Structure 1
Amino acid sequence: MDKMKLKLLYSDLKSDLEIIEKELAVAVNSSSHLLNEASLHLLLAGGKRIRPVFVLLAAKFGNYSIASIKSVAVSVELIHMASLVHDDVIDDAETRRGRETVKAQWNNRVAMYTGDFLFANAIEYITDLQNTYAHEVLSQTMVELCIGEIIQIEDKHYLEQTVRDYLRRIKRKTAILISASCELGAIASKADEKTVSHLKRFGYYVGMSFQIIDDILDLTSSDEELGKPAGSDLAQGNITLPVLFVKNDPAIEPLLSDILAGTISDTNRQILLTKIRESDGIERAKQISNIYLQKALNEVKQLPANSAKKSLQNIALFMSKRKF
């Protein structure tokens, strides 16, 4: 995703996001030098900070105050960072966003404890918000994320999984945290219940659409655009939606077996990717992503009129239509 184009869509939040960025730097600090290095390495890798952006935009529908909502934005981003560190261990990933992962630069043990440290800090930060329901939302989200991690391990290399299995998995992997970001931002600003519900559902639908597109891009983008080999999800045993649609194609099935077994050559990897790109699997996956996008936009329509409403709409469109 082109981060510069995305940032233009919420440029009015620039000063508040800078406050959150500084707070994140404080949040990853600890008395352990090793933990500091590993956490800071992850923080400096950057990212789109989409979840804090959704917290801030959702808070615009209530009594907006950066002082009262920054802890929520920091909490959800810490959870996201922690899940990435754990994901990289599960997937044995060496790079993320073109940089070495924590597990690659140090080891699996350091990566797992770094993730645990970030999760714990997220819980500590949310206590600044004097709302027990918000604490419940965050804790349930963390539970679902962890269940999602286990299910992802169970589903690795399993070609008999269904589309429903895939959708349940990405709900936990991605959609639930984006949904919680929107819900918590609205709760923190004391938005009314109806608005909170619309924002929660908006975040869920956007998250589903976003992850499907992310999985498509892993197959259709170049190695250079991704900062890692295209088809990395498959190489790690993760079966995504476009692949589920074409897994029984006689021209694809043998190559698919090879990449899942880890025996595919780079030449055959490119051949497999070409065949998947030329199949109808990509378009069918895009259609499902678009269904979720339209549901998200419908939730936006029902929100009260303000500047954040247009921003939510534009970000949803950008995230679901991006090319890399």
Structure 2
Amino acid sequence: MEKMKLALLYADFKSDIDIIEKELIQALNSSSHMLNEASVHLVQAGGKRIRPVFVLLCAKFGQYDIHRLKHVATPLELVHMASLVHDDVIDDSNMRRGQYTVKAQWNNRVAMYTGDFIFARALQSLAHIENPLVHQVLAHTMVELCNGEVIQIEDKFQLNQNLKTYFRRIKRKTALLIESSCYMGALAAGVNKKDAIHLKRFGYFIGMSFQIIDDILDFTATDKELGKPAGSDLLNGNITLPVILMQHDRRIHEYVEKIQAGVLTEAERQNMLTLVRNSPAIDEAQRVSELYLQKALREIDQLPKHPMKRKLRDIAMFISKRDF
């Protein structure tokens, strides 16, 4: 049902998204058979393609040209894909979206080189865009993305971290890439500076809301819905908002200690999920996500009258209220 809603929201852009899909496959073409297989495996694993859609949506406020915009949307999606490949190595994850990860299907070395290859292809794809600010935005985003991943490693199993630490981490891990998608789409389409900044800020706020919902779903969704074990973030030592909001509950500390020692049983994982799902932390985290959503919607209100304002609002509401 939720996927049907997403398809309806994307319907206006279907032909252009198809162009971007073809561009992704072409960008991942390599003389190495193994790299080809690993890269195509990633494209076929699918994804919501949220970043390319935000590029297209925001470009509608300017001079829309899909044959120019595909060179912005493609590298942003490639950067996202590459970061996931590296994430799966760091977290030792075997499943993502119900399919084996590159590191599981091949090995860590192949996964790391595949991620590096995809990052390089992203830079090649963006070379078609002459605006130096677009290149600066992507470069800054990639640097901050890497910083965020390293900080996440440093923060593993740190239950006493504060909200500021968490928000800074998810900004780098997720929100900046969505912010850049909106901003780069606007820049590539020649949107005026004032509106481009509103679109950029919209992207940041909706990116924060999006990641908080992801962190909630990691506990509230089922293994099947997630395509990986529920609670995977905590199983990998990543302390997300629901757990931070429970840090004064001794029971969550006991589960984290068992995870860190590698002795958590399947029954204990289920009990841990029940504890988090039934705690006030879930509703509190959802309220935080809602605050970011409302900030995003206020940025839309600042934009001039345009048919795409409604579409931006609809997609923002969907990704902040989704249950998968």
TM-score (norm 1): 0.98
Could you give the per-residue CA deviations for residues 37-91 of structure 1, whole angstroms, max 9, x where no partner exists?
A: 1111111101111100000000000001111111101010000100000110111
Match of 1:40 in 2: 40
Q: For residue 313 of structure 1, what is the aligned residue in structure 2?
A: 313
- Residue in 2 aligned with 1:64? 64
C-alpha distance in structure 1 between counterparts of 2:107 and 2:47, whole Å: 22
Identity rate, percent: 61
- In the alignment, the residues of structure 2 paired with residue 320 and residue 164 of structure 1 have an alpha-carbon distance, to the nearest angstrom, of 21
Deviations 1:84-134 (A, max 9, x none): 001101111001000000011111111111111111111111111110011
C-alpha contact (below 8 Å) 2:78/2:122 kept by paired residues: yes
Report the CA distance between 1:181 and its aligned residue. Answer: 0.3
What amino acid sits opposite 1:149 in the alignment? E
Q: Letter of the aligned partner of 1:62 in structure 2?
A: G
Deviation at 1:247, TM superposition (A): 2.0
Cα deviation, 1:26-46, whole Å, max 9, x if unaligned, reads: 000011111111111111101
2:197 alignment partner in structure 1: 197
Q: Does 1:144 align with 2:172?
A: no
The separation in 2 between residues aligned to 1:271 and 1:134, in whole angstroms, is 47
Q: Distance in 2 between matches of 1:259 and 1:284?
A: 24
1:49 alignment counterpart: 49
Uncovered stretches (5+) of structure 2, i.e. residues with no partner: none
CA distance in 1, matches of 2:137, 2:2: 31
Partner of 2:156: 156
Q: How far off its partner does 1:259 sit?
A: 2.6
Count of aligned pairs: 324
The 1-side partners of 2:100 and 2:22 are apart by: 23
Q: Deviations over 1:159-203 (max 9, x none)?
A: 121111111110011000000000000000000001110010000
Distance 1:146 1:114 in 2: 16
- Counterpart check, 1:17 vs 2:17: yes
Task: Give 1:209's aligned amino acid.
Answer: S
The offset of 1:147, in angstroms, is 0.7
RMSD, matched Cα = 1.1
Q: Hey, what's the Cα distance between the residues in 2 that align with 1:144 and 1:239?
A: 19
CA shift for structure 1 position 255: 2.3
Equivalent residue letter for 1:151: I
Given that 2:159 and 2:253 are in contact with CA atoms closer than 8 Å, whether structure 1 keeps it comes out as no
Q: Give the deviation of 1:268 after TM superposition.
A: 1.1
Is 1:211 matched up with 2:198? Answer: no
Q: Within 5 Å, give how 1:104-115 maps onto structure 2.
A: 104-115=104-115
| Alpha-carbon displacement from aligned partner over 1:226-278 (angstroms, at most 9, x marks no partner) | 11111111110000000011122133332232233321111111111111111
Do the aligned residues in 2 keep the contact of 1:259 with 1:269 (CA within 8 Å)? no
The equivalent residue for 1:7 is 7
Q: Please say if residues 79 and 142 of structure 1, whose CA atoms lie closer than 8 Å, have aligned partners that are also in contact.
A: yes
Worse-superposed segment, 180-189 or 307-316: 307-316
Q: Aligned ranges for residues 124-143 of structure 1 at < 5 Å? A: 124-143=124-143
Alignment match, 1:303: 303
Question: Is 1:165 aligned to 2:134, yes or no?
Answer: no
Q: Give the deviation of 1:283 after TM superposition.
A: 1.0
Shift of residue 280, structure 1, vs aligned partner? 1.0
Q: 8 Å contact 2:141–2:177 — kept in the other structure?
A: yes
Which residue is equivalent to 1:223? Answer: 223
Distance 1:317 1:242 in 2: 21
User: Matched residue of 1:43: which SS?
Assistant: helix
* Letter aligned with residue 53 of structure 1: V
Amino acid at match of 2:301: K
Runs (4+) of structure 1 moved beyond 2 Å?
Answer: 1-4, 250-253, 259-262
Give the alignment's TM-score, normalised by structure 2.
Answer: 0.98
Q: Distance in 2 between matches of 1:48 and 1:89?
A: 22
Unaligned runs of 5+ in 1: none
In structure 2, what residue type is equivalent to 1:25? I
Which amino acid in structure 2 is aligned with residue 135 of structure 1? H
Aligned to 2:82: 82
Tell me, yes or no, if the aligned pair for 2:160 and 2:247 is still in contact at 8 Å. no
More displaced, 251-260 or 272-281?
251-260
